[in-house]
Structure 1
Amino acid sequence: MDLNSQVRHQATLAEEAALAISYNGISQAVMMVTPNDLEDFVLGFSLSNRLIARPEELYDIEFGGQGEARQAELTIANRAFAELKQQRRQLAGTSGCGVCGVAALEQALPAMPSLSPAPLPPARLFARLRQRLAEHQQLAQPSGALHAAAYLDNQGEILFCREDIGRHNALDKLIGALYHAAISPRDGVVVMTSRCSLELIQKAVSTGIGTLATLSAPTALTVQWARRHQLNLIHVPHHSEPRLYSPVPVRGSVSVGQTVE
């Protein structure tokens, strides 16, 4: 088969759209997203970025646009809106050479309260995890180009799976789905199919996730942040047992981690 024939018969491509998000009429961000589960996304985005403190502060959502250009108009509580405007004023003072300076560093590496330690899940919850996740990734099956965030209950059942071109977007969608369903993110395990980046740690801590498991190994910085904020952090390799990186393993090399007991 020649290249032209391969292109004509390629798999379905993942969708991508620009979503402009505004709060009480003020534009906040434009995110490139997979345009599904958008109501979950905007709630999770608002919570994980600390734009609202709890779901009740999001009063209304209106979606507009279509195709590659979408809009989400959010109405939030006055308290949350006042804090949002204050954050914008702090960033405006450092914008002469782009978003830089102390305020921007505080945005990238924010001070966050530590979590109350959650119980460690048993290793059996991760049995055949990759295969089970693949079965729940409905959008990724035809395209192969999407990250997934899933929620396992304390029996290891996958209750929710959300997908997106961006790993942070997938996590925001999952966070929104959990809060819409009135399920505490602390009670189960959140699993990411992607690399464990610092932003995932920050979103997990901000929204009260107790245990984060990823299919790719964490970096030293993400492990530091997970331990500092008492987030359980687990890596599920391809061909070996799950490895615990946070809290500090009781035995074995800290740099390597240990099997979850």
Structure 2
Amino acid sequence: MMGTRAHSSHPGLSVQPDRAVTVHRTLPEEVAVAMVFDGSSAAVMMATPADVQDLAIGFALSEGIVTAPDQLDGYELAEHPNGLEARFWLREDRAEALAARRRFMAGPVGCGLCGIDSLAAAARDLPKVGDGPRFTRDEVARATDMLRDQQPLHDQTRATHAAGLLLPGQGITLVREDVGRHNALDKLIGAMARQGMDPATGAVVMTSRLSVELVQKCAIAGVTTLIAVSAPTAHALRLATDAGLTLAAFARGDGFDLYSNPYRIVDEVSHVA
């Protein structure tokens, strides 16, 4: 067990067209993390063992187990030979919400919906997000580059995703990293909650494609704008449109694709068919 270390060094052989040389690479750690509420495991996921409390709080909020951090109590992180347990106790009225949305997600980090008990749970209705802040075209276009500048674990390993909070006129002010994109987003949501920051005041920036579960988590958290370096899925776009989220994809360098609710981007370029 590597405990809560986020990375470690390992030897390898770098094979090139004209030679093979011994190298040492820094690799991200990936451990099983169990989300335990009132003594019962609600989910098990593979995650980077850093900012685990942020991950657990963000998961509880984005999955609707709680609606505010003060409904969670008595956090502790327990290490086991096979992984970690993030333990919380729930306020009595929230225990029912946990029972209604029980998940057992032992599976790869690439699937944010593994193990959901019913298809109805995966297709849950999303709340309409609020009006939210406006962003300039330049802020959206540069968002993923700004995020890239604040990924120390990725700099060391080249193997992690990140989620960042973009505030109008301030740039990226908070970042969390993980081997899984869903985990990185949950960590960011949890970090905002612990610091008393309102997700509706900024945009979330992701290093990944925009999948259904990322849109779901953002809508439930109250995020109004979601920006990513890659594309949304078609169904993620439908959900974002219905929930009122602004989706900006392929944000790289000078431009981006704008797919839904464009009014939050205040200086859009003229559309040419």
Q: Classify the TM-score, shorter chain.
A: 0.7 to 0.9
Query: Matched residues in 1 for 2:92 and 2:154: separation?
Result: 39
Structure 2 counterpart of 1:195, from 180, 196, 209: 209
Query: Matched residues in 1 for 2:166 and 2:195: separation?
Result: 14
- Are 1:138 and 2:157 an aligned pair? no
Q: Mapping of 1:66-215 within 5 angstroms?
A: 69-88=83-102, 104-215=118-229
For residue 12 of structure 1, give the secondary structure of its aligned residue in structure 2. strand
Q: CA deviation at 1:207?
A: 0.7
The structure that is strand-richer by fraction is 2
Give the equivalent residue in structure 2 for 1:39: 53
Q: Mapping of 1:4-19 within 5 angstroms?
A: 8-19=22-33
Q: CA deviation at 1:22?
A: 1.1
Query: Matched residues in 2 for 1:172 and 1:99: separation?
Result: 18
Query: Matched residues in 2 for 1:159 and 1:87: separation?
Result: 32
Query: Matched residues in 1 for 2:141 and 2:240: separation?
Result: 23
Query: Matched residues in 1 for 2:270 and 2:148: separation?
Result: 23
Query: Matched residues in 1 for 2:269 and 2:94: separation?
Result: 42
Unaligned runs of 5+ in 1: 90-97, 250-257
Aligned length: 244
Identical amino acids, percent of aligned pairs? 35
Query: Matched residues in 1 for 2:192 and 2:210: separation?
Result: 20
Give the equivalent residue in structure 2 for 1:23: 37
Q: CA deviation at 1:88?
A: 4.2
Q: CA deviation at 1:2?
A: 6.1
Query: Matched residues in 1 for 2:130 and 2:270: separation?
Result: 19
Are the aligned partners of 1:123 and 1:260 in contact in 2 as well (CA < 8 Å)? no
For residue 3 of structure 1, give the secondary structure of its aligned residue in structure 2. strand
Query: Matched residues in 2 for 1:73 and 1:108: separation?
Result: 25
For residue 27 of structure 2, give the secondary structure of its aligned residue in structure 1. coil
Structure 2 counterpart of 1:3, which letter?
A: V
Check 1:23–1:2 CA distance in 2 against 1; reply closer, same or farther (3 A cut).
Answer: closer
Q: Aligned-pair RMSD on alpha carbons?
A: 2.8
1:132-153 CA distance string (max 9 Å, x none): 2222001000110000000111
Q: CA deviation at 1:66?
A: 5.6
Query: Matched residues in 1 for 2:21 and 2:55: separation?
Result: 32
Are the aligned partners of 1:195 and 1:215 in contact in 2 as well (CA < 8 Å)? yes
Are the aligned partners of 1:214 and 1:236 in contact in 2 as well (CA < 8 Å)? yes
Query: Matched residues in 2 for 1:163 and 1:259: separation?
Result: 32
Unaligned runs of 5+ in 2: 1-12, 104-113
Query: Matched residues in 2 for 1:2 and 1:247: separation?
Result: 47
Query: Matched residues in 2 for 1:2 and 1:189: separation?
Result: 39
Structure 1 counterpart of 2:138, which letter?
A: R
